[in-house]
Amino acid sequence: MKIFPMDTKSDKPGREPFQKKGPGLSTTNVQIMPSLDKAGSACESEHTRPMAAYDKPGYTLCDYVNHFIDTGAGPVPVIRPELDKWDRLSTIAVRCGIRRHKYLVSPGLYGIGSPAPDSEVLVTANYKLTFDHLRSALGSISAWILVLDTNGVNVWCAAGKKNFSTRELVNRIKAVSLEKVVIHKRVIVPQLGATGVSAREVKTQSGFRVVYGPVRACDIPAFLNNGRKADKAMRQVTFTLFERFVLTPVELHGALKMAGITALALFVLSGIGPGIFSFHGAWERGLVSLAALICGLFSGAVLTPVLLPFIPSKKFAFKGIFMGTVCTLLLLPVIYPGIGSMTGAAALFIFSVMVSSHLAMNFTGATPFTSPSGVEKEMRQYLPVQLAGVLVSAGLWIYSAF
Amino acid sequence: MKDFRYLEDVATLVLDEQKCIGCGLCTEVCPQAVFEMNENKARIVDFNACMECGACVNNCPVDAISVSPGVG
């Protein structure tokens, strides 16, 4: 839900009628009457609701829409380039995996700045993170933005799954009557969309010529200034420390369900002992084994991705083993009193390292440089090792209780 | 990408230089700079950087390039 800024246009800046509210009347959580929350107040409705003409029953105007512009194909929403507090907060939430699969904008045509019939058309995906990224990278540039329906998935991944595709682009061009909006016959498609788009086919089917833009939205201003030419650096993907780091919360989030099930299994396994099953043992030994699980989780889903280029080997599974070994060797002395035996320590060591290896291997899917053939080779090699390792460690762990 | 290298000799990328008409679109769409133009023909200059994304295959006007990864 959007919170509108307090009466910023008021000529009496000291008076902020909506700032102090009685309990339960805060508009931060509850939108009692949306119009009351808008800048200005309800009493100046004609000034504060300039877009009343675009109201539609059952629809809410998106916060990023600034106004509408009339085109040959009807009114088109013009969006703001700047992100507000809620865009930023939801970016963080989505980066953590919260509501990531429902974070989308409506496909169709948008404008930004003061788009004219000769402005460029930038094609993008309908993942809100992608959309926000693009509009904030454009700054003062005026352009049209053609949002394809990719089911809320980013350009590259959607192109790989053929949702960001020739067919979707051609259909979308027709659906928005792009030829009535612009006087040229050119669309700028992000380079990573090329995996799903055939420039030649788009031209044949729609009459529009595809120009491949740069990989990163932040290079678009330079690309446009340079006569729609991308230099070599703009054409290549990168994978910087920061780019790797922001992926780790989603890696953790993705592993949570499996980790929860594994943790339950650990507590059950830990209860097995000389007296067949002991709840005391399940709790005490369960907590120790949980520490090993968390260690493997952190090593494989956070440390390995972040430190990726500094860890030896090209194989992610091995990188995970290496990092897991380092982490577990640091952890073991701390939890050894709770383990009590070398056999138990060996069990937890193997377990933690295998968890790390598996999660590290899983990270191949999030990198921009691993080939499916390579991943397949690696999985054939290491999945059996990981599975065997976990089984052996479970056996040792039970054995160590006797 | 020069800083990040994955497993070598596994990519299924094949370029038929006989068919190539030298349009250069593969050098434009490849995110890993696998291709370069040489005397009006594309050639593979960094085979092991190929991540089999298929951008070149999709855009080659004469079907001179192929990649055939499994399910991934």
The answer to whether position B7 is within a domain reads no
Whether residues B29 and A370 touch (CB distance < 8 A) is answered with no
**With an 8 Å Cβ cutoff, are A237 and B32 in contact?**
yes
Are B71 and A375 contacting, i.e. CB atoms less than 8 angstroms apart? no
CB contact under 8 A, B71 and A377: no
Q: Are residues A76 and A145 in the same domain?
A: yes
Range of the domain at B56: 14-62
pLDDT tens digit string along A73-124? 999 999 999 999 999 999 999 999 998 999 999 999 999 999 999 999 999 9
Mutate to test the interface with A, among B5, B9, B10 (most CBs of A within 10 A): B10
Which helix or strand (DSSP H or E) is residue B37 part of?
strand B35-38
What's the pLDDT at A13? 38
Residue A102 lies in a domain: yes
And the tokens for A72? Answer: 């040959």
Select from A286, A291, A296, A297 the least CA-distant residue to A253. A297
Does pLDDT of A17 surpass 60?
no
Supply the mean pLDDT for chain A: 88
- Would you call A195 and B54 a contact, using CB atoms and an 8 Å cutoff? yes
Identify whether A326 is part of a domain. yes
**Looking at residue B54, which CATH number applies to its domain?**
3.30.70.20
Does residue A281 share a domain with residue A383?
yes
Q: What is the pLDDT of residue A340?
A: 83
Taking only residues 4 to 43 of chain B, the set having a beta carbon closer than 8 angstroms to any beta carbon of chain A reads: 4-8, 10-12, 25, 28-33
Does residue B68 sit within a domain? no
More confident residue, A32 or B40: B40
Q: Please name the member of A191, A309, A372 whose beta carbon is closest to the beta carbon of B3.
A: A309
Instruction: Give yes or no: residues A139 and A44 share one domain.
Output: no
- A126 with A224, same domain: the answer is yes
Q: B57 lies in a domain?
A: yes
Task: Give me the number of domains chain B comprises.
Answer: 1
> In this predicted complex, what is the ipTM?
0.94
pLDDT at A4: 40
Contact (Cβ atoms closer than 8 angstroms) between residue B32 and residue B1: yes
CATH number of the domain at A114, please: 3.40.50.11600
Specify the number of domains making up chain A.
3
pLDDT score for A47: 59
Once rounded to an integer, what is the mean pLDDT over residues A327-349?
93
Identify the bridge partners of residue B15 per DSSP, sorted by sequence position: B65
A29, A175: one domain = no
Classify residue B45: in a domain, yes or no.
yes
| Domain contains B39 | yes
Asked if the structure places residue A160 within a domain, the reply is yes
Please check whether residues A299 and A161 belong to one and the same domain.
Answer: no
pLDDT at A360: 97
In a domain, A57, yes or no: no
Report if residue B70 sits inside a domain. no
User: Is B67 inside a domain boundary?
Assistant: no
Strand partners for A65: A79
Contact criterion met (CB below 8 Å) for A155 and A186: no
Residues A118 and A222 in one domain: yes
Q: Rounded to whole angstroms, how far apart are CA atoms A168 and A383?
A: 37
Task: Tell me the residue range of the domain where A11 lies.
Answer: 1-49
- pLDDT higher than 50, residue A335: yes
Give, for B57, the enclosing helix (H) or strand (E): helix B55-59
Whether residues A297 and A374 fall in one domain: yes
Question: A125 and A106, same structural domain?
Answer: yes
* pLDDT attached to residue B69: 76
Structural domain includes residue B55: yes
Task: Identify whether residues A324 and A221 lie together within a single domain.
Answer: no
Lowest-pLDDT range, A127-141, A165-179, A276-290? A276-290
User: Is residue A54 one of the residues assigned to a domain?
Assistant: no
Nearest CA in chain A to B68: A373
Question: Minimal Cα distance from B26: which residue of A?
Answer: A194
Same domain for A248 and A366, yes or no, is: yes
Q: Is A332 contained in some domain? A: yes
Q: What is the pLDDT of residue B60?
A: 96
User: pLDDT by residue (tens digit) across A219-278?
Assistant: 999 999 999 999 999 999 999 999 999 999 999 999 999 999 999 999 999 988 887 888
The Cα–Cα gap between A321 and A76 comes to 53
Contact at 8 Å (CB) between A199 and B59? yes
Both A68 and A44 in one domain: the answer is: no
